[in-house]
Structure 1
Amino acid sequence: MTETQAQLPPTVVKLGGSCLADLAGGWWDDLAAHGRERPLILVHGWSKPLKQLSPRYSEPSAILRDRYGNQSRWTTPEVIADIKTVSADLGREVLRRLTRRGITAQRLLGSDGLVSAGAGERWWWKDKQLVELENLVGPITGVDPAPLTGLRPGHAYLVTPLARNDAGQEVNTDADRAAAAIAGATGATDLILVTDVAHLLIDGEPVREITARAAAEFRDKGATGGMRKKLRAAGEALDRGVERVVIGSAPVTDLLAARTGTVITRT
């Protein structure tokens, strides 16, 4: 590794929990090839593994809506424990896939000094009433990149996006927005949001490139569900200095080359 390589900014890749198990061997070969040239930070979701762990996580009652209309998984200490369980299993598999391809890797919990969170919303709709509930979630307020001391080509970090709030509690955070915050804090030029759809669709048509302003307008007027969160995360990443965000389902090098997917830029 040359001195120039050691100074390269990382590529941050968010691995969607809904698609992680479906990524083929060729996808991982491509990621490893890119990782031999650039430092890698991977941030994973856990939605599908959590639903597979227990049917209760697929029930409508598992999701809360606050007074502003924002959705959140109802997170109790038991849910945090289950997130850690499925994340540990997922992490072992990701690290195995990387090490088999010559990339050294280590797993970090965001709550171990990497990601901090603010106070979460306390009022949620339940049984058609607005009630006060303890929900262990919180907005990300900062990232301390100090735990990522080994950033270099040939080495990857896998981050489980839990955070710690001012009260010292572990809290659940949105994985896309955690990836955006980490990308900004580490000086990444690119954030890749790997999901189970090939492009952002507007009026049923795939979008190859879009500005942050246009993406924000669509987010507020037409986007729903997971894509709405991804567009919010993309805007936050660009505001934090990331040069571009790419959303798609293809191999990382194809997304970076804009051969497929949707590229979101500042202007």
Structure 2
Amino acid sequence: MTYDTTPHDARAARQMPEDDADPRVRADGGERGDGKPPVVVKVGGARAVDPAGAVEDVADLVAEGREVVVVHGGSTAVDDTLEELGEEPTYVETPGGVVGRFTDERTMEVFTMVMPGKLNTDLTVTLRNAGVDAVGLSGVDGGLLSGPRKSAVRVIEDGKKKIKRGDHSGKITDVNADLLELLLKEGHTPVVTVPMLADDGVAVNADADRAAAAVAGALGAELVVLTDVAGVYRDPDDESTLIGSVATPAEFDALKDAAEGFMTKKVMAAKEALDGGATTVIVADANADDPILAALGGTGTHIEASAVADGEEVDG
């Protein structure tokens, strides 16, 4: 997957903020300039996701004075590059039923080349062409995303639980929120991607949805997770069963039961974000008109902090 770096006509005339413009104030622990929390936008990396609408919405939000952090994935592009190099991507299933990438040393080399090397650069350029003062960052930069490295992962193979070693991935437990706050205060829009920095000083893979959740939690933000469907459905084959609002623990249990496949991780990430301090999580359609603005306005699946019970650890 690549991001289009051609400016959109509707945004071509937008100017960068002038040096003497009033900076958006964010006192420590206080209200921001517009009295609203930041927006963290997770842009998916699937082939079916077109980031153009999200880019325009980010530009509009920033022009209105809203603080925005963009977090992006790109697993499809990693898989494509591996295949071009004659390598076969490896996916595993955890005992909890979550399917994820197994990142060995060779995959990690390709991952680092594609995610921060190409996709992050492309998206940062696209946002800048849209009038956004975007700053590209990986989780390694400034120790932005860090945590313990996984020495092994538990997987299901042939119906049996096994331990698979040699994984180059980790669990994000710390976010350098001060770095993000500094950039936001100065009018920049951080564009964040994994890898993260493991506790042994090595760059390792981490799930992009959960990276966005960690960032949103650390900033007390609204998290908008853009994907290739309109939200979470009670029946994935019936669009009329979209779950619009989740506000109680019972409703969240029903949401977890409804989530299948890739959506399982997004619901898991939603809980982590809300447990970490995010105000709301919205799962919405990246390909809709004005996808971020529409999601903030009520479309998609809205998961409120009240839906998450305290004390339940999420592991994947």
Whether these two folds match at TM > 0.5 is yes
Q: Distance in 1 between matches of 2:271 and 2:151?
A: 22
What is the CA distance between 1:147 and its match in structure 2?
2.6
Instruction: Name the structure 2 match of 1:253.
Output: 293
Structure 1 residue runs without a partner (length 5+): none
TM-score (norm 2): 0.75
Identify which of 104, 107, 120 aligns with 2:150.
120
| 1:21/1:231 CA distance change after superposition, 3 Å | closer
- Pair 1:145-2:140 in alignment: no
- Pair 1:102-2:142 in alignment: no
| 1:85/1:27 CA distance change after superposition, 3 Å | same
- Pairing 1:1-267 to 2, within 5 Å after superposition: 1-2=21-22, 5-7=24-26, 8=32, 9-18=37-46, 22-24=50-52, 26-36=53-63, 37-55=65-83, 62-87=90-115, 88-112=117-141, 113-120=143-150, 122-125=152-155, 128=158, 130-148=162-180, 149-152=182-185, 154-188=187-221, 190-203=222-235, 204=238, 205-211=241-247, 213-214=249-250, 216-218=252-254, 220-249=256-285, 250=288, 251-258=291-298, 260-267=299-306
TM-superposition CA deviations, 1:228-254 (whole Å, max 9, x none)? 111111111111221111111132111
Aligned residues: 263
Structure 2 residue runs without a partner (length 5+): 1-20, 27-31, 307-316
Bigger relative contact order, structure 1 or 2 (CA pairs below 8 A, ≥6 apart): 1
Instruction: Please report the RMSD computed on the Cα atoms of aligned residues, expressed in angstroms.
Output: 2.7
Instruction: Tell me if structure 2 keeps the 8 A contact 1:219–1:232.
Output: no
| 1:201/1:59 CA distance change after superposition, 3 Å | farther
Instruction: Tell me if structure 1 keeps the 8 A contact 2:91–2:99.
Output: yes
Q: Distance in 2 between matches of 1:262 and 1:153?
A: 32
More strand by share: 1
Is the partner of 1:102 in helix, strand or coil? coil
TM-superposition CA deviations, 1:11-35 (whole Å, max 9, x none)? 11111111586233x4422220112
Residue type at the aligned position of 1:107? G
TM-score (norm 1): 0.87
Is the partner of 2:113 in helix, strand or coil? helix
Identity of aligned residues (%): 33
TM-superposition CA deviations, 1:38-80 (whole Å, max 9, x none)? 1221111111111221338999860123455443311122222
| 1:54/1:143 CA distance change after superposition, 3 Å | same
TM-superposition CA deviations, 1:94-124 (whole Å, max 9, x none)? 1222111211111111023011122426154
